[in-house]
Structure formats: structure tokens, C-alpha cells
Structure 1
Amino acid sequence: MKIIPTIMSGGAGARLWPVSRETHPKPFIKLADGKSLLQHAFVRAAVLPDVEQIVTITNRELFFKTEDEYREIAAPGLKCTYLLEPMGRDTAAATAIAALHVQQVYGDDAIIVLFPADHMIRDLEAFRAASVKAIELAAKGRLVTFGINPEYPETGYGYIEADGENVVRFVEKPDLARAKDYIASGRFFWNSGMFCFSAGTMIGLMEQHCPEILAQCQASVLAAFQSKVASGTQVTLDRDLFAQVPKNSIDYAVLEKADNVAMVGCDIGWTDIGSWNALAELTDADAAGNRINGDTVLVGTENCFIQSSDRLIGTVGVSDLVIVDSADAVLVAHKDQAQNVKQLFAQLKDSGHEAHSLHRTVHRPWGTYTTLEEGERFKIKRIEVKPGASLSLQMHHHRSEHWVVVSGTAKVINGEQELILSTNESTYIPCGHKHRLENPGIMRLVMIEVQSGDYLGEDDIVRFEDVYGRT
């Protein structure tokens, strides 16, 4: 019997702005131990019994970033499959494409353990033990959910009412009075959003309860483009077909309608990292109740969460605040209002402010670029290119560029010229010239790029050739 752990990695993580952005969503947030939530999810998948293959469902724009994250921690012998969605269609679609792919490769009896990348589980041994129980139930044709033994009357989670291993009902987020009643009854558990099922069982349930979602996902999977990558297999779903999949959660589409749902109750150190308050709980508090990640000086400060990756933060006479500093934005919120950060994120998006989507440092398949300064008709970037990587052969209509090598070796196509540039050497690329940057060396290439022109937006790129399929 094949066990296929499957990680769902997506979402904007609007409540965790300014660290979480559309192009750098919540699963990529680094914790105090230096690992991202996605990396923790990969480690979690690897502890399941007899695992040879880990499936990840994510947006296709995040594939290279995901592969980089896994490369840092990947265990020898473990292969990865990436199911790449052109756009998000919610968890019912993600579940369907996982079940269809696993059925296609391993058959109906293969067991999928499905969980989100943006949760934290601190007790891996307990998680493995709970998963073994869930796998046993799934092998008997049950659709299994993981219920978390509740520690307090939380109003931000959904609940599961269970009678032994059998699920009685799913309940939406309750008010405080009902949450207290649930806890007192001993029959209710927090809904973790993690599931276990055989591929055949899930496909059968979706045929019964949401056939239109299944049929459209099946069409997209059958038309998918599949290719080998360094860490395994990349499966890119058909954009036009996948765009027609109805949006729905797996809870509404299947779980609340199915009559064969079982639950494994567990204590696994689970946290849904849904807000800065939840993320703060992963950091130990000092004597004044402050939880600190970064360089701080505090005077008369109590019960605050403060995070900074680069700069010193000083506070005087404040309490009950969330303060999060990033390279280009600072969040200050009362802890009681942490859930409402999503409203601030929505305003940024509605106004077209790029801070909802991009960080100052932006990841690309070939490396990164960091915007150092920009003003009227100019922008200065620091560019890092991975060893052996290259940018696309491209051209700009509205800007010229000047490249200066800081360290490493650059291979440059500039119009009809092909150049090799070393440290402190440069080249000027006029507007309208085809050009390409490549790192032929074994060390990272670092460059400074100075752009000048009437329009400096990232969409002023015409690609002619690209090894990453972006033409």
C-alpha cells in the first residue's frame, strides 16, 4: 500500500502582512529556527511511514521558490511531484487533482495524507502515530479527518463533533458561549483541515457530491504538461480548463455531505498560523510577556510581539502591540485587532499598491533582485544570479539599463555582442536592444543594475527565449 503525503501550499496569508505577500505567501515565512512553514511541512511529510514520494500542490508561479525551499532540506532518496495550479480554485479542486494524479500513478488503493503547509505541528512523533491510525481507517474506505483535542474555547477555528471515531457533524466557528459549551461536552474537537483517504474513496465521493468539480479537474489533469525536474516531476495543469473549475472548499463540497467520515483525535502540538498572535505563540515570552524576534531595546514595554529582520526597534511605554518590520513596510497593530490585518492588506490591493504583492527583494527562477532605490525616471537594483542560471533573452521598450558586476562572472548578450564581464566591469544596454544575463560560474553572480527611462514597470519585458517557459 503506497502512502503519499500531499502538501497544499498556497493562499495570500493576508493576516500576516507585511511578511506574507501574494508572491511570497504564508508558507514561505521563516520561523525563529530558520526554517519556513513549508520546510516544516516537508519534514512532517517525510516522517510518515514508508514514504518515497511527496506531492506538493501550489501555484505554478511559486514552483521554483518551492523547489529552492525543498533543496535546502531534502532527504536523500525522496522524490517530489509538483502539481502546479494556474490559479487558486480552493481546497476542493486541490483535493481532486491530488486524488486524480495519485490514482493515475499508483491506483485506487494508494493512501493520501493531505495537509496545509501553513500550519505548525511541534510533536512529530504524535503526528506520525495519529497518521498511522488514520491510514488504517482510510484503507477500510473511510474518509478520515484529524481532530485536535481543544485546549481552550477558541472562536477562530471550526469544530468537529465526534462519537468515538465517527464524525457526527462539522460546526462553523462559534461564538464564545458556544465554544465553552463545546469544550465542556467533551465531544468536540478543533478542525485541523488535515485529511486522509484512498484515491479511489475520494474520487467516488466527489463523483457523488461535486461531480462538476471532479470532471473539470479531470479534464485539466488529462491535458496537463508533465516534465522532469531536478527533484522529481512537474505537472502543470491546463490554464483554460482549470479556470472553469468551480470554487469550493473540500469541507463544503464533500466532508459535510459524506456519511463515511471518521476522525482521529490527537494532541500533536498543532497551531493554525492564521494571525500574528498565533505566530507569536511559537516564541517564548520574557518576564514582561514580550515575544521578540530580532534586535530590540524595550523600555516600559509589556505583552508585545516584535519582529524585525534588519533594523533595531525601540519601544517606550507601550503594551499589547504587534510590531512587525520588513525591508519596505512596518505593521503596528493592537493584539486584539490582529485578525483585521487582512483589511489593511485588502486596501493595499484595491489601491494597486505593490506592497500587497511584492517584497523589496523578489525571487525569480534564476535568483533574486532587490530594489535599492527608485525615483522619477530611474531605478537601482541589486541582482543575484544562481550558478549556471540565466535570465531570459529579452528587450525593453521604455528603458535602458547599465549593468555593473560586483562579484562573480557574467556572460552577457547585448545586441549583437557576447561579453564576459568580471568584477568592476560593466556594459550599457540601450532601449530596444535584445539582451541576456547568464552566470557561467560556480559562485553566485552579484550585479548592480541602473534603469533609466519613461516607464520602469516589471511588465515592460518582451521575452524571446526563456529556459523557464515564460515566453
Structure 2
Amino acid sequence: MSQLQPVILSGGSGTRLWPLSRESYPKQFLPLVGELTMLQATWKRVAGIAELPPIVVANEEHRFVVAEQLQQVQAGPQAIVLEPFGRNTAPAIALAALEATRDGADPLLLVLPSDHVIGDEQAFIDAVGDARSAAEAGNLVTFGIVPTGPETGYGYIKAGSGTSTRPVDRFVEKPDFATAQQYVASGEYFWNSGMFLFKASRYLEELAQHHPGILAGSRNALASARQDADFIRIDGDAFAATPSDSIDYAVMEKTSTATVTPLDAHWSDVGSWASLREVSPQDADGNAHHGDVVAIDCRNTYAHGSRLIAMIGLEDTIVVETDDAILVGRSDRIQQVKDVVAELKARKLPQASWHRKVYRPWGAYDSIDNGARFQVKRITVKPGATLSLQMHHHRAEHWIVVSGTAEVTRGDDVLLLSENQSTYIPLGVTHRLRNPGKLPLELIEVQSGSYLGEDDIVRFEDTYGRA
């Protein structure tokens, strides 16, 4: 019997849940339902049945966040495969299948998006068990969600006869409402979940038959990849030549071995704030609130924020607050948040992609104030972590230690600073910051100069390969 190996896809941008989810820190890295992030919950859901460590496919820009979050839940991945840019799911899964079979193994790949919510985890585990025999026999299994209503935002799968895993009759695009009603009433259709189970070799065989360009491109990209610590960095030029397509279009709709296993497990892809409200705990009036919220005479609302949110007389309304943005919208129109993000990008505003607090492999910085020719940041450096040796052409910096110990390289000098001590980094002087202690280092950085953008950094040495 083949061993089960999870493949976790973590390349999404997550802008449908703006302003909490952004391109630089999308929804899979957020604890939207429960204490674990969605990426962590995806692993924990299958940790008990996985017989091999997971393969994670992620965007290169998110590599350190992925590695840290997996480490926090003791995932210990076999590989973190880094895509330089997204090419959709068919190439991503091909990279994972090629990596899984590199040394002659042929595991069963349980392919899971990292941003789904599954309320009944035991039902999901049981469905995976039901699907294993079909996958062992060479079928490509997809998990079809038992529909709870005529949803028009999902693709559908029409199943053949049977009670458990059964042949796929056909895949259907997102229907209109009347058609969706017919699908649900028939009992023959399931929502397309985007989760799969199959042997690695079988996926590669079907890809070779139905879309050989994706297989060839993925193979070339992986062959030219380089190992970087725990990461496999895919070659950008080779990957750019790989056709972009989903696994549904490239393989599942064309293969004769597609089967579907029904899944009734309170599933959601959390594709909007409205759908997040539906899977969140609600009060008697249908309100789902996270944080410090005062709601008076409100019904069917969702509120999420770090500051106090007061709501009066609202119905079917979404309110989301972050450090630098507030979203307010009607539940039935909240999908138009994508138009907000598009407008922010057109205006070239950072809130389209970045949070005020930005995570780095060494820690994080939070831009707490700024104005003409100055910016103030709160910087946190993890124990033992080191920033790059760098310099700036257009700004000087003052560093004030709030807590912890800072080792500062400033030109030819090396300084050791403790709480309430400070130093000045003149414009054009090479410098580096390190936390030699066992506790986080907290400091305030005051920048002053003619240009304060993050691209005014010249790196000479870097622990994290950014020089």
C-alpha cells in the first residue's frame, strides 16, 4: 500500500478578505477561525493520518512566514517548494509530484489548499479513508462537497451512480441560480472543493497525456532549481515558460479515471467576509464578532478589529478594522472588495498589498508614524537573529533600545546597547543590527532624510540570501 503524503498549496494572494488579508500576508497565514492560522490548521487536520511529511508549495515572497508557521506546529516538511510567481494549480501540483517521486517513491498525494475551513474534521478523515482504495487503483479522486444550497460561486461535479467514491460524469462551470437549484435538487451534483487524492505517478502520467507542456516545463523548472537551506527555489526562467492552467482544466476534465468522494464536513473555502461569518460562532441574532465589539440592535453582522468597534442598528453588514484601513460594506455586495483593492493599486497605495506591520525573517517592523522627511518604526528582532549589513543613500537613522540587547555594527565600530541606550547611523554608513540575547529585542527607529522608501537599501551581506 502506498504511503500518504500531504501536498499543501499555499500560493494564494487572498485579496478577497482585504484589509485583513493582503498580498504580502494572505489569509492562509491568519487565524481567522480558531487559534491556529489556516495553514497550520491544514497540517494539523491531517497530521494524524499522514505517513510521510508534507510537501508545501508556496510563493517565494512568503517563504519565511511559511517556514516559521510550520515550525510552530512541528510540521517538519519534506520540502518547501518556492514558486517565483504563480502558474495556477496544475504546475504547482506537478512540482510536488516530481519532488515526491525524486528518489523512486510513489506516494499517495493528498492535495490540500491551505486556506479552507473544515468544521467536521473526523468526517474529512473518514472521506480520505474512503477514497484511498480508488486512488490506490490508479484513479484521480476529487472530493465533492455535499451542497447545502444553490451556491453560484462554486463549480459543480456531476457524479455517476454509487454511494461512496464514484466515477465523475462531468465537471460544470459556476451556474446561474436557477441551474444551481436544479443541481442541488437532483442530488447528483457536488461542489468542486479543489482537494484531491492520487498516486504521484498517476498524476504525472495523466499530465503527460493531456497537457505535456506543463509537465515538461515543471520538470525543467525543478531540474534547474537550487536548494536554499530548507527551501527549493524554482528556476524563474524555466517556470515562466511553463503554461499556466488549473488541475481541473489540464487534467481532471479530460482524464477517464476521475472519481469523486462525497464530503459532508461543514466545508468552506472562506472566499468572502460573508462566508467567514457563516463559519464563525454566532449569537442568537446571527452576529459573528471578533475583538472588542459593542453591537446594539444588530442582526447578521460580522465585525473584526483590534480596536473597539461600536455598531448600532445594522443588518447584513461587514465591518473590518486594521491598523491602517477600515472596510464597511453590505454582506450581499462584499465581494466587491476586489474593486477596492484594484482602486488602491491604481492609486499606488501601499494598503493594497502591505500591512502597516511587515514581517521579516529576522522579526518585524511597524511603521507607527511618518511625515515630511521622517518616519518612526517599532522594530522587533528575534533572539539570535541578524539583519543584513547595509547602507542607505538618502536617510540617516536613530536607534533607541526599548528592551533586550542590541549588537550594532556601525562602520568599523561594534557597539553593545541595552535598554534606554541609543546610537546614530549617519547617511551612507554601513550598519547591521543583531540580537545576541535570548529575549526579543525591541527598539524604536527614527529615520530622517529626503527619501525613506524601503528600496533605499544596499545590502552587502545577508543571512537570508537577499544581498
Q: Given the two structures, how large is their TM-score scaled by the length of structure 1?
A: 0.96
Contact 2:134 2:141 in 1 (8 A): yes
Secondary structure of 1:153's aligned partner: coil
Contact 2:375 2:448 in 1 (8 A): yes
**CA apart distance, 1:210:** 1.1
Contact 1:149 1:190 in 2 (8 A): yes
1:256 aligns with 2:253: yes
How far, CA to CA, are the matches of 2:286 and 2:184 in structure 1? 27
Question: 2:90 aligns to what?
Answer: 92
Measured against aligned partners, the alpha-carbon deviations of 1:224-274 in whole angstroms (never above 9, x if no partner) come to: 112444xxxx21111221122221111111111111101111212211110
Contact 1:148 1:265 in 2 (8 A): yes
| Most deviating of 237-246 and 93-102 | 237-246
**CA apart distance, 1:418:** 0.7
Contact 2:287 2:300 in 1 (8 A): yes
How far, CA to CA, are the matches of 1:32 and 1:210 in structure 2? 37
Contact 2:46 2:125 in 1 (8 A): no
**CA apart distance, 1:319:** 1.6
Question: 2:389 aligns to what?
Answer: 393
Q: Alignment partner for residue 423 of structure 1, among 405, 416, 419?
A: 419
Measured against aligned partners, the alpha-carbon deviations of 1:366-409 in whole angstroms (never above 9, x if no partner) come to: 00000000111100000000001000001111111011110000
Secondary structure of 2:279's aligned partner: coil
How far, CA to CA, are the matches of 1:228 and 1:325 in structure 2? 37
Question: 2:52 aligns to what?
Answer: 52
Contact 1:299 1:317 in 2 (8 A): yes
Question: 1:132 aligns to what?
Answer: 129
How far, CA to CA, are the matches of 2:52 and 2:42 in structure 1? 16
How far, CA to CA, are the matches of 2:391 and 2:427 in structure 1? 8
How far, CA to CA, are the matches of 1:307 and 1:119 in structure 2? 19
Q: How many residues align?
A: 462
Measured against aligned partners, the alpha-carbon deviations of 1:56-111 in whole angstroms (never above 9, x if no partner) come to: 10011211111221222226xx544201111111111111101111111353x311
How far, CA to CA, are the matches of 1:14 and 1:200 in structure 2? 34
How far, CA to CA, are the matches of 1:47 and 1:332 in structure 2? 40
Aligned-residue sequence identity (percent) comes to 48
Corresponding letter in the other structure for 1:294: G
1:11-50 to 2 correspondences below 5 Å: 11-49=12-50
Corresponding letter in the other structure for 2:252: L
How far, CA to CA, are the matches of 1:110 and 1:315 in structure 2? 52
Question: 1:61 aligns to what?
Answer: 61
Corresponding letter in the other structure for 1:60: E
1:143 aligns with 2:123: no
Question: 1:174 aligns to what?
Answer: 175
Question: 1:194 aligns to what?
Answer: 195
Question: 1:203 aligns to what?
Answer: 204
Q: Aligned-pair RMSD on alpha carbons?
A: 1.3
Q: Alignment partner for residue 266 of structure 1, among 233, 239, 263?
A: 263
**CA apart distance, 1:186:** 1.1
Q: Given the two structures, how large is their TM-score scaled by the length of structure 2?
A: 0.97
Question: 1:356 aligns to what?
Answer: 352
How far, CA to CA, are the matches of 1:385 and 1:415 in structure 2? 21
**CA apart distance, 1:314:** 0.9
Measured against aligned partners, the alpha-carbon deviations of 1:290-315 in whole angstroms (never above 9, x if no partner) come to: 1111111222322211111x210112
Corresponding letter in the other structure for 2:295: L
1:262-411 to 2 correspondences below 5 Å: 262-308=259-305, 310-411=306-407
Question: 1:212 aligns to what?
Answer: 213
| Most deviating of 380-389 and 60-69 | 60-69
In structure 2, the gaps of 5 or more residues are: none
Question: 2:447 aligns to what?
Answer: 451
How far, CA to CA, are the matches of 2:212 and 2:323 in structure 1? 46
